[in-house]
Amino acid sequence: MFFSFSWLLVLLSCILLETAAWINYTSDGTATMTHYELPENYVASCGCTPSSTHYPTAALSQMAYGSSTAYGPGCGKCFNLTLLNTWTSTPPFYPSVTKHIVIKVTDLCPLSGDGWCSATDSKPNPSGQYLNFDLAYPSDAIPDNFFPSNASLYGYTDFGVWNISYQTVSCENWAGWGNEAALGSVAYLGSESVCCPDNPTGSANDTCPSYSDDNGIPPDTTTSSSPRTAGATPSIIIFVSILLCCYVG
């Protein structure tokens, strides 16, 4: 009895320790890309302005984002994402055109058991990657034919998940850079729960701290019948990730 209880404690502390180890990623590398539905003008986890959704945005996988709730160091960062290939399809698809897009991170893609946002610093996601960018798509900011496909060969056009390369870039390269209203965070939610720098560089004075590190990671006290309010939780991402996992996996 005592033995199994200590084991439970050890197990619990391992889980907690693992949850607290954010992923240190290099400025350039490979990752996976999925997509999710983000309603236009929705204020996502970082608290970036509604107008940010008028330009390409993405949610970053939790352990790279750097927080389990609200904002994290990933908020506001801009990345140039280039589509390489798909591999969950049979056969793998290598597009004949090279598509890239510069996105701003405005949302958190929650850590999930074995989904595309499941990587921790010790365990990559199902494709061996430590980062997943969940692109807000479809979006008025991105052409509907952004993702290359070959309908006659595959019988469908949405591969769901892509192998990509990423580069950390200055947000001056982001399509929304010229629009002051698309930069920064909303004021009405209070500065304690929002953080969306216009061009974070990693310095303490222009990069968000981790909301979880500063406030502790709260236990999940929701029950299966708890209502979810829009704007407060990334429920849409969870929903779409589940859909995507079932669809792709």
Ligand X SMILES: *[C@@H]1O[C@H](CO)[C@@H](O)[C@H](O)[C@H]1NC(C)=O
- Of 9, 12, 15, 21, the one binding ligand X by CB under 6 A: 21
- Residue 234: CB atoms within 10 A of its CB come to 22
Amino acid found at 242: I
* CA distance readout (Å), 50 to 25, 35, 188: 28, 19, 12
Rank residues 131 and 236 by Cβ distance to ligand X and give the closer one: 131
Q: Does 100 bind ligand X (CB under 6 A)?
A: yes
Interacting span for ligand X (CB under 6 A) from 45-53, 84-92, 185-193, 233-241:
84-92
Interacting span for ligand X (CB under 6 A) from 98-106, 108-116, 221-229, 239-247:
98-106
Provide the CB-side half-sphere exposure for 228 (13 A, CA): 12
- The two tokens of residue 5 are 């209880």
Site of tokens 């945005």: 57
Rank residues 85 and 191 by Cβ distance to ligand X and give the closer one: 85
Site of tokens 């595309």: 116
Across-strand partners of 163?
32, 85
Spatial separation of the C-alpha atoms in residues 166 and 33, rounded to whole Å:
10
- Of 26, 98, 145, 221, the one binding ligand X by CB under 6 A: 98
- Of 19, 112, 127, 179, the one binding ligand X by CB under 6 A: 127
> What residues numbered 166-205 form the site for ligand X, per CB under 6 A?
167, 169, 173, 203, 205
Contacting residues toward ligand X, per CB under 6 A: 21, 24, 30, 80, 82, 84-85, 87, 96, 98, 100, 102, 121, 127, 150, 152-153, 163, 167, 169, 173, 203, 205-206
